[in-house]
């Protein structure tokens, strides 16, 4: 691990934890590539590691007993997984995996658990993060209930855009349809709506954001609650 300097770490949570806590973690931090599809935590299994992405985007997906799926949250360098470790729960019923590839750090789950119990400031920080994610999940729920597909798609693109460096997002309609819990052709149609309005440009496997402000305008009240809460509790996402 040579040298990991806290002030140049891009993951917000690692960067914002108290320096003396980071020093305890540092020797155990492992820099890892996070390739698309990599599953950081599986349903009902005790995770061996906690992950802190530097680049890339991860999705948290809930699955029902009969195999229906829906995304309940998304995070990148603003977060970590699994929050179950933070909340003294050891495991959770979700699947968490990389959706846009990148890299990041990981540490043994047992160490995180132990440090959380010992270091008050660390626990408070991660608890606030858990709160922010709960808010994200809650507003995803609201959005699923009341918004049309194209608005939900706009919301989703915005949230991805917040967590990438450029304006390009690589993914298939098939994948998006699972995230939004809709049919695949519905995604195609919704993308055409956004493209027709010049908010995005879309081609095989790629979405390119062209006019972010207009996207936000279109998403209206579907977007923003998580971001507000995160800034209040943790700090700027960017």
Partner DNA sequence: CGCCCTCAGTACGATATCGGACGAACGCCT
Partner DNA sequence: AGGCGTTCGTCCGATATCGTACTGAGGGCG
- Which residues are paired to 81 by β-bridges? 51
Among 69, 90, 120, 192, binds DNA (CB under 7 A): 192
For residues 222 and 145, what is the distance between their CA atoms, to the nearest angstrom?
11
Asked if 176 interacts with its own copies (CB under 8 A), we say: no
Cα–Cα nearest to 194, from 176, 181, 178, 98: 176
In the chain the first and final C-alpha atoms are separated, in Å, by 25
Give, in order, the Cα–Cα distances in Å from 151 to each of 53, 219, 226.
Answer: 27, 5, 16
Q: How far is the CB of 19 from its own copies (least distance, A)?
A: 20
Q: Which stretch binds its own copies (CB under 8 A): 89-97, 100-108, 158-166, 203-211?
A: 89-97
Residue 2: Cβ-neighbour burial (10 angstroms; 0-12, 13-18, 19+): exposed
- 222 touching its own copies, by CB under 8 A: yes
- Answer yes or no whether residue 222 interacts with DNA by CB under 7 A: no
> Rounded to an integer, what distance in angstroms lies between the CA atom of residue 229 and that of residue 80?
16
Q: Does 178 bind its own copies (CB under 8 A)?
A: no
Instruction: Give the CA distances from residue 159 to residues 43, 48, 62, 85, in Å, rounded to whole numbers and listed in that order.
Output: 24, 28, 18, 24
198 binds DNA (CB under 7 A): no
173 is in the binding site of which of its own copies, DNA, none (Cβ under 5 to 8 A by kind)?
A: DNA
Report the partner that residue 149 touches, choosing among its own copies, DNA, none (CB closer than 5 to 8 A by kind): DNA
Residue 95 interaction partner, one of DNA, its own copies, none, beta carbon < 5-8 Å per kind: none
- 134 burial (CB, 10 Å; 0-12 / 13-18 / 19+) is middle
- Which does residue 183 bind out of DNA, its own copies, none, counting CB within 5 to 8 angstroms by kind? DNA
Q: Please report whether residue 188 would count as binding DNA according to CB under 7 A.
A: yes
Q: Is 191 in the site for DNA (CB under 7 A)?
A: yes
In angstroms, rounded to a whole number, what is the distance separating the alpha carbons of residues 78 and 59? 13
Binding site for its own copies (CB under 8 A): 62-66, 68-70, 72-73, 83-84, 86-89, 92-94, 117, 120, 123-124, 127-128, 130-131, 133-135, 137-142, 144-147, 180-181, 220-222, 224-225, 228-229, 233
Binding site for DNA (CB under 7 A): 148-150, 172-174, 181-186, 188-192, 202-205
């Amino acid at each position: 691990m040579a040298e990991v300097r806290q002030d140049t770490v891009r993951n917000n949570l690692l960067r914002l934890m108290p320096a003396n806590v980071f020093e305890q973690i540092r020797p155990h931090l492992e820099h890892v590539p996070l390739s698309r599809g990599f599953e950081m935590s599986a349903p009902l299994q005790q995770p061996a590691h906690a992950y802190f992405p530097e680049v890339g985007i991860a999705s948290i997906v809930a699955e029902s007993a009969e195999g229906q799926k829906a995304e309940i949250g998304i995070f990148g360098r603003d977060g970590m997984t699994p929050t179950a470790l933070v909340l003294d729960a050891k495991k959770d019923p979700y699947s968490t995996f990389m959706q846009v590839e990148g890299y990041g750090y990981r540490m043994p789950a047992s160490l995180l658990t132990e440090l959380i119990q010992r270091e008050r400031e660390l626990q408070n920080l991660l608890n606030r993060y858990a709160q922010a994610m709960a808010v994200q999940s809650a507003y995803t729920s609201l959005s699923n209930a009341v918004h049309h597909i194209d608005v939900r798609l706009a919301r989703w693109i915005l949230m991805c855009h917040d967590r990438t460096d450029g304006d390009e997002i690589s993914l298939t309609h098939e994948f998006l349809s699972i995230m939004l819990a809709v049919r695949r052709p519905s995604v195609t149609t919704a993308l055409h709506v956004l493209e027709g309005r010049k908010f995005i440009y879309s081609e095989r496997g790629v979405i390119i954001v062209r006019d972010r402000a207009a996207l936000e305008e279109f998403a209206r009240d579907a977007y923003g609650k998580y971001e507000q809460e995160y800034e209040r509790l943790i700090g700027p996402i960017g």
